[in-house]
Chain A
Amino acid sequence: MKTRRQFLHHGLHASLLLGMPPYLLGAKKSAQYRTALIGCGWWGMNILREAIAAGRSQVVGLCDVYQRPLEASLDEVQQLTGSSPRLYRDYEEMLEKEKPEVVIVATPDHWHALPCIKAMELGAHVFVEKPTSHTIGESQAMLQVARATGRTVQVGLHRRIGPHHVSGMAFLRSGKLGRIGLVKMFVTSSGTGPEEPTPHTKEPRGMDWDRWCGPAPWRPYCRRLTPGGWRNFLDYANGTLGDWGVHWIDQMLWWSPEPYPKTVFSTGGRPILGPPVSDPDRGSTTDAPDTQMVTFGFESFTAIWEHRKYAGNPQENHRIGAYFYGTEGIFHMGWRDGWTFYPRKASESTVHQEPSFDHVEDGHNLTLLWQDFIDAIDQARPPVADIAPAHRSSLLPMLGMISHRLGRSLNWDGQTESILGDSEAKSLMRRAYRQPWTYPSLQSKTSSNQPSP
């Protein structure tokens, strides 16, 4: 069976051979892709809106386990396109019936791997939200299936294409920072504690809570979990490190002369929010750390992640981003504050670049990232946030959380993607799925599982 990409390739070659006029080739590239969305929340619709605006998508299906956002998304798609995609609660049914060519996966982390893999196996290109997955084995399987099927997979790391990130990376690579010995990535916010438990209540009408939990552990519903609150429940995501951390860790790895660290050590906890609560009478709190420091040991430099959900960062100019410390000064890669170079010498002046967003309110560059995804499909080239580098960036928060759980340092071999000399830690790279779901299996080691150069 020919994959779509092979078909496109063959078609392209044949037309070139026949001396087809270029405008027909252009017409080919303006084809509409049958597009489906799995996970119709805030961010899923942000992505789908870009797909619609780019004019290369015909929305054929919307899938969610909760009726309310499903209907709100349908309402918006109808307004934007005049057409009515069919609604699904079961992504497999949707993929089989609608046969989409492009699938957007914007579910919580624990629900990334299975829909992505199924979509790729059925021939679709995939745009999946960051991080790639919740546990390491899932991400490995996703990468492997992407390579085996030849599908294009863009991961929602829009900071790989945001203009100030691109120009900032060029500045970093220009050598003006001298030799870089330390990268510190951080997110700080304000808050107080302790966190009050949210009572366990019946899930909202129209929400299939069992399916929402899906392959992850089931836990009693409380209103803190949805919408969005699942990011701080470790059954379903990896807290601030997994959510925000992956963006800045990805920036660090984008620059890094080495593809992976050799050691990972995390410390931290919930000194402000208090110990996690899950109690039938009192309800539940989140369980992700409010304080976390992770040290990633590379051979030629050290990288540190720090987050704090209190105190803000009033003594500095920046409350979020990545500092690169070089012999010539400090470079800050930020978000709404663009990038700034603070030279070591007082005689030299600060260099600053303002950001430029596609969407000012949410501060992202999804328009560019989506266009790159479509171009990558058209041109059969890797997209800017291809699954291989995104996989490597996504693994570091997951390793950080394993170290956090065990309270000890990990030795990491990025070539074979294994934790060395610690079978307990190694076992946490995967987890048992809840029945009837099956954890994605890895084919025996092939080169597709190696990090690409």
Chain B
Amino acid sequence: MKLSSVCQSLLILTLFSDSTTLALDWPMFRGPDHDGISRETEWKKQWPESGPITLWEAQVGIGFSSVSVADGCALTLGHQDDQDTLYALDSLTGAVKWQHSYPSKLGAKFYEGGPGSTPTIDGGRVYSISKWGDLFCLEASTGKVIWQRQLEKEEGLTLPDWGFNGSPLILGDKLILNIGGAGMTLDKSSGKTLWLSNQEAGGYSTPLPFVMGNTQLIALSNETHFTGVEVETGTQRWEIKWPTRYGVNAADPIILGDEIWIGSGYGKGHGLFRIQGGEVSEIWTNRELRAQQNAPVLIKDHLYGFDGDGGSRAALKCIERSTGKVAWEADSFKYGALSAAGDHLIILSAQGELITAPASPSSFEPLSRAQILDGKCWIVPVLANGLLYARNSQGHLVCVDLRP
């Protein structure tokens, strides 16, 4: 059975071999469409009582880095013994293809610490940033460093309280980071700074690309606002004031047409805004989805995500996008993280239980459950090519076989 699955993977590999990344890869945080939703539909959503098969496990060090998958390689970051390590693992076997380490601090401020960003794969290269501004561009096949920078020192940046945790975004020839009060871009081939908004602390979200009119923009957070910035010039087109107690705007925004969803934890809540020209108007705001770390997913006009802060009581909620009203909530969770594939949710509870369920506004009806991890699981599970990657804060990474 395993063998036939491998054959299937090889088949897929052959079919898409002309592309640099496979169609069902997950090359960066929040996936290929920047929305936390995989395009895969044919995957195993239900499994027997014994649970799905864990193909392999690895120990990757402390951190909250998620997994990105491309070209047969699964990448994540972890911290151990005063250094961060970027692991490139064989996505099918977990064998270490290469690893890249550099001295770093743990940064365990009120939590376990370790790197919080996820590496990004683009055009045969890997881009990776540490909490403290160590930025690397490496060859995806070998791990050879093509260029590297220490942004905090070189650019005189103010670090956010918990360091840099947004992941790199590649757009054309640009590398875009949530650094500075309104982002920065670099030339992805040389690492040269193209523009830097300012030296202030940024937020914790990953830059989200979108087009307004004919202009390419990114949406990102800083400590007190969400803002829309022109990629070419760095010009801020609009901003939404969104103050939170600890300056933690971490969840990525969601954009649909001229509407933007934003949300934060620590009691703040979420809201939907309309952007027309440079003008922002509120459609609704409420406290129903206090998205502390991870954004919800938007499926057919409903948001699915966790309300509440890690370490406290939280609920999984379904919310109508147009009104902000709660369709249902499941409060058996003590926090967690989720992604989706097609029209199904893939949930990892804070205690390491994997749960699948159809994304339906009428009710929450889990299809299958399996305990795949223990410890603290606040990191989004990732589905790529039928394989589910999940890890906990201590760096226990598992690959679960959900191929049909």
Q: Residues of A at under 8 Å CB distance from B?
A: 41-42, 45, 68-69, 71-76, 79, 196, 198, 201-202, 204-205, 223-224, 227-229, 360-361
Judging by beta carbons under 8 Å apart, are B158 and A202 in contact?
Answer: yes
Chain B's interface size range is: 20 to 34
Judging by beta carbons under 8 Å apart, are A204 and B161 in contact?
Answer: yes
Interchain CA distance A198-B110 in the complex, whole Å: 13
Interchain CA distance A72-B244 in the complex, whole Å: 5
Known: A68-B243, A76-B267. Contact between A223 and B158, CB under 8 A? Answer: no
- Is B2 interfacial (CB 8 A cutoff)? no
Can you list 6 A-B pairs with a CB-CB distance of less than 8 A? A45-B245, A68-B246, A72-B243, A72-B245, A205-B223, A223-B159
Interchain CA distance A76-B223 in the complex, whole Å: 16
Judging by beta carbons under 8 Å apart, are A205 and B312 in contact?
Answer: no
Query: Which of A73, A75, A76, A205 has a CB less than 8 Å from the CB of B158?
Result: A205
Which residues of A are found within 8 Å of B312, using beta-carbon distances?
Answer: 361
| Closest CB in chain A relative to B332 CB, distance in Å | 15
Known: A68-B224, A69-B245, A361-B312. Contact between A201 and B110, CB under 8 A? Answer: no
Contact with A along B197-229 (1 / 0, CB 8 A): 000110000000000000000000001100000
Contact with A along B232-272 (1 / 0, CB 8 A): 00000000000111110000000000000000001110000
- Is B313 interfacial (CB 8 A cutoff)? yes
Judging by beta carbons under 8 Å apart, are A205 and B200 in contact?
Answer: yes
Q: Taking A196-B105, A229-B109 as given, write out 20 further A-B residue pairs in contact, using a Cβ cutoff of 8 Å, ordered by the A residue number.
A: A68-B223, A68-B224, A68-B245, A68-B247, A71-B224, A71-B243, A72-B243, A72-B245, A74-B243, A75-B243, A75-B268, A79-B287, A201-B158, A204-B158, A204-B161, A204-B223, A205-B200, A223-B159, A228-B110, A361-B312
| Closest CB in chain A relative to B111 CB, distance in Å | 13
Which residues of A are found within 8 Å of B110, using beta-carbon distances?
Answer: 228
Known: A360-B313, A361-B313. Contact between A223 and B243, CB under 8 A? Answer: no
Which residues of B are found within 8 Å of A75, using beta-carbon distances?
Answer: 243, 268
Which residues of A are found within 8 Å of B382, using beta-carbon distances?
Answer: none
Judging by beta carbons under 8 Å apart, are B245 and A42 in contact?
Answer: yes
| Closest CB in chain A relative to B193 CB, distance in Å | 20
Q: Give the nearest-CB partner of A74 in chain B.
A: B243
Judging by beta carbons under 8 Å apart, are B161 and A223 in contact?
Answer: yes
Which residues of B are found within 8 Å of A72, using beta-carbon distances?
Answer: 243-245, 266, 268
Which residues of B are found within 8 Å of A360, using beta-carbon distances?
Answer: 313
Which residues of B are found within 8 Å of A76, using beta-carbon distances?
Answer: 267
| Closest CB in chain A relative to B226 CB, distance in Å | 14
Contact residues of B between 309 and 332, Cβ < 8 Å to A: 312-313
Interchain CA distance A361-B224 in the complex, whole Å: 26
- Is B106 interfacial (CB 8 A cutoff)? yes
Which residues of B are found within 8 Å of A74, using beta-carbon distances?
Answer: 243
Query: Which of B159, B244, B287 has a CB less than 8 Å from the CB of A201?
Result: B159
Interchain CA distance A75-B225 in the complex, whole Å: 13
Judging by beta carbons under 8 Å apart, are B106 and A196 in contact?
Answer: yes
Contact with A along B97-138 (1 / 0, CB 8 A): 000000001100110000000000000000000000000000
Q: Give the nearest-CB partner of A362 in chain B.
A: B312
Known: A45-B245, A196-B106, A228-B110. Contact between A204 and B267, CB under 8 A? Answer: no
Quick one: which of B106, B110, B246 has the most chain A CB within 10 A?
A: B246
Quick one: which of B201, B267, B313 has the most chain A CB within 10 A?
A: B267
Query: Which of A42, A45, A204 has a CB less than 8 Å from the CB of B247?
Result: A204
Q: Which 4 A-B pairs have the closest CB atoms?
A: A71-B243, A72-B245, A361-B312, A72-B243
Interchain CA distance A364-B266 in the complex, whole Å: 18
| Closest CB in chain A relative to B366 CB, distance in Å | 25
| Closest CB in chain A relative to B146 CB, distance in Å | 28
| Closest CB in chain B relative to A36 CB, distance in Å | 19
Which residues of B are found within 8 Å of A228, using beta-carbon distances?
Answer: 110
Q: Give the nearest-CB partner of B105 in chain A.
A: A196
Which residues of A are found within 8 Å of B268, using beta-carbon distances?
Answer: 72, 75
Which residues of A are found within 8 Å of B224, using beta-carbon distances?
Answer: 68, 71
Which residues of A are found within 8 Å of B223, using beta-carbon distances?
Answer: 68, 204-205
| Closest CB in chain A relative to B238 CB, distance in Å | 19
| Closest CB in chain A relative to B114 CB, distance in Å | 13
Judging by beta carbons under 8 Å apart, are B243 and A227 in contact?
Answer: no
Interchain CA distance A360-B158 in the complex, whole Å: 36
| Closest CB in chain B relative to A70 CB, distance in Å | 9
Interchain CA distance A367-B132 in the complex, whole Å: 41
Q: Give the nearest-CB partner of B247 in chain A.
A: A68
Q: Give the nearest-CB partner of A228 in chain B.
A: B110
Interchain CA distance A375-B201 in the complex, whole Å: 45
| Closest CB in chain B relative to A422 CB, distance in Å | 38
Interchain CA distance A48-B247 in the complex, whole Å: 20
Interchain CA distance A76-B290 in the complex, whole Å: 13
Quick one: which of B161, B243, B268 has the most chain A CB within 10 A?
A: B243
Interchain CA distance A42-B246 in the complex, whole Å: 9
Q: Give the nearest-CB partner of A79 in chain B.
A: B287
Which residues of A are found within 8 Å of B159, using beta-carbon distances?
Answer: 201, 223
Which residues of A are found within 8 Å of B158, using beta-carbon distances?
Answer: 201-202, 204-205
Q: Give the nearest-CB partner of A283 in chain B.
A: B105
Judging by beta carbons under 8 Å apart, are A223 and B109 in contact?
Answer: yes
Which residues of B are found within 8 Å of A68, using beta-carbon distances?
Answer: 223-224, 243, 245-247
| Closest CB in chain A relative to B249 CB, distance in Å | 11
Quick one: which of B245, B266, B268 has the most chain A CB within 10 A?
A: B245
Q: Give the nearest-CB partner of B264 in chain A.
A: A72
Interchain CA distance A310-B247 in the complex, whole Å: 30
Query: Which of A41, A71, A202, A224 has a CB less than 8 Å from the CB of B109?
Result: A224
Q: Give the nearest-CB partner of A73 in chain B.
A: B245
Judging by beta carbons under 8 Å apart, are A205 and B105 in contact?
Answer: no
Interchain CA distance A69-B268 in the complex, whole Å: 12
Q: Give the nearest-CB partner of B313 in chain A.
A: A361
| Closest CB in chain B relative to A132 CB, distance in Å | 25
Interchain CA distance A201-B268 in the complex, whole Å: 28
| Closest CB in chain B relative to A260 CB, distance in Å | 35
Which residues of B are found within 8 Å of A41, using beta-carbon distances?
Answer: 245
Which residues of B are found within 8 Å of A196, using beta-carbon distances?
Answer: 105-106
Which residues of A are found within 8 Å of B243, using beta-carbon distances?
Answer: 68, 71-72, 74-75
Interchain CA distance A71-B312 in the complex, whole Å: 24
Q: Give the nearest-CB partner of A41 in chain B.
A: B245
Contact residues of B between 50 and 89, Cβ < 8 Å to A: none
Which residues of A are found within 8 Å of B201, using beta-carbon distances?
Answer: 204-205
Q: Give the nearest-CB partner of B200 in chain A.
A: A205
Interchain CA distance A74-B268 in the complex, whole Å: 12
Interchain CA distance A198-B287 in the complex, whole Å: 34
